[in-house]
Structures are given as C-alpha cells and as structure tokens.
Amino acid sequence: MSYPSRPPQQKPSAPIQAVNALVAAEKKDPGLWYFLVTVFTAGFLAAVPFWHAYVRLRRPELRTMAISYTAVDLFLVLLLGITPPSGSPEAAESSLSAIGGFMFVAVTIAACVQLRGIRREVYETPPAVPVHADPAVARALAGRQRRDEARKMWGSDPALARELGVGRPDLRRGFDDGGLVDLNSAPAAVIAQVCGIEVQQAEAIVAARQTRGGTYFNLGELFVDVSLPPHVQQQLADRAIV
C-alpha cells in the first residue's frame, strides 16, 4: 500500500524572512526597531519612534520632537508626490528629486543621532534597588542608585545629562539625579547644600574654579587647588560630578 509523499517544505518568503530577522534582532537588542524603522523607510516614518518614546517617558521635549518629525514626514510625502517621475522630460529640468534625496538622507541621519540617547532611556532597565525595612535606609540606597545611573548618563551622553539638569538642582528641570552637583557650573550655595559642606568651603571651590578658567576634569585636581578636610573630600566624592 503506497502513501502519498509529503510535499517539500517551502522556505519562507523574503518579506517573512525579513520580519523574522527583525523580531530576532529586537529580542537580542530591545529598541533596535527605532533605527530600523527610520532607516528602512528613508525617514518617512521617523516620527514613529519619537511618539513611542513620548508615550513611554511623557517628556514635553519628546512631544515637540515627535510633532516636528511628523511635520517633516508629511513634507517628504508632499515632496515625493510633486516630484516628476524619473525619465520624464520634466524630471530633467526639475531639481526636486535632488532636494528630496538630500532631505531623506538628512532626516534619517538626524533622527538616528537623536534616537541614540532616547532609546537608552526607554529600554534600559535600571538595576533593582535593594529593599530595606528601614524607610530612611531605603531612601538612602535609592538615592545612591539614582546617582550611579545619573553618573553613567553624564559619562555616556553629557548633552542629554545637561538638558535634564543633572548636577544642577537649581535649574529645576524635574529630573531626579539622586543628589548630584556639577562643580564646574553650580553656584557655591548649591554646592554647599547638596554636598552638606560649609558655604565658605563651597565658595573656595568656586573661586578656585574661576581661577583655573572654569573647568575641573577630576576631583583630584580640585583637592590639589583647595585644601579640604578628609570628610569634606568624601562628601564631594559621593555627590560631585565634573
């Protein structure tokens, strides 16, 4: 008795293979779709990642960026609609195709650059903060964790950190950095308050900063210029960024 042979298994089509590859890449590197959507649509859907980030983070500047890219996307669609078809007599005399090509590239590059830091904010999950029965200890541990996260942002994306007001509580940007202060820009009163040191010591730090041109690259340079007690140096090491 013979049985019908099984039909050969067909390979997935190219679009399905592309979708499967996208899903695998997203599982391996969450948030990668921000760049893929922007690049593979040549900037036409550049606004989508910004709207997603705004929904997740609810920051007004992200909404502004999303609205701006939406307007740019609509302009690109309009430009594509009025561009003469390739090979037509009008195309030879029109410069719209060259302008459109330049804008597609410019929008794609600009969006990808801006999405680098935004993607990290949306998808990077901070480590769990140790839980403690004493609320005061729990708050201290949470503050320490926030300072560590803000310092990492300060090192990896300083432009974003400055925009959020890391190390400058006097600017009141609304971002909780756990209690950090930028010794290169903060006023003496803010340095004294955040670090818990005397105002005279903070004023000495600001005076030394101004003498050397306004920039310290590490705390070691500050400790050479300003004589501070060991406990004050320890408080600065815990709270200061440069």
- Is residue 206 over pLDDT 70? yes
- 147: in domain: yes
- 32: in domain: yes
- Across 90-108, average pLDDT: 70
- Across 199-218, average pLDDT: 88
Distances (CA, A) of 29 to 25, 145, 155, 157: 6, 24, 21, 19
Residue 84 three-state SS = coil
Number of domains forming the structure of the chain: 2
- The span from the CA of 38 to the CA of 4, in Å, is 48
- Is residue 136 over pLDDT 70? yes
Can you spell out the DSSP letters for 172-210?
--S---SS-EETTTS-HHHHHHHHT--HHHHHHHHHHHH
Residues 118 and 143 in one domain: no
Residues 92 and 144 in one domain: no
pTM of the model: 0.45
Residues 91 and 189 in one domain: no
The DSSP call for residue 32 is T
- Across 23-44, average pLDDT: 76
- Show the domain range for 179: 135-241
The predicted pLDDT at position 57 comes to: 83
- Is residue 189 over pLDDT 90? yes
- 6: in domain: no
- 128: in domain: no
The predicted pLDDT at position 10 comes to: 56
Q: Is the distance from CB of 179 to CB of 147 less than 8 angstroms?
A: yes
- 31: in domain: yes
First to last CA, the chain: 84
The predicted pLDDT at position 142 comes to: 83
- Across 4-32, average pLDDT: 58
Beta strands (DSSP E) in the chain are 181-182, 240-241
- The span from the CA of 60 to the CA of 158, in Å, is 20
Q: Is the distance from CB of 155 to CB of 164 less than 8 angstroms?
A: no
Residues 140 and 67 in one domain: no
Residues 171 and 148 in one domain: yes
Contacts of 161 (CB under 8 A, 6+ apart): 150, 153, 154, 167
pLDDT band at 50 (very low <50, low <70, confident <90, very high): very high
Percent of the chain clearing pLDDT 70 (strictly above) = 76
Phi then psi dihedrals of residue 181, to 5 deg: -140, 135
Tokens found for residue 39 = 């690049």
- 1: in domain: no
- Across 227-239, average pLDDT: 89
- The span from the CA of 58 to the CA of 53, in Å, is 8
Residues 82 and 172 in one domain: no
Mean pLDDT, all residues of the chain? 80
The predicted pLDDT at position 200 comes to: 93
pLDDT band at 86 (very low <50, low <70, confident <90, very high): low
Q: Is the distance from CB of 219 to CB of 240 less than 8 angstroms?
A: yes
Among residues 80, 95, 123, the one where a domain terminates is 123
pLDDT band at 144 (very low <50, low <70, confident <90, very high): confident
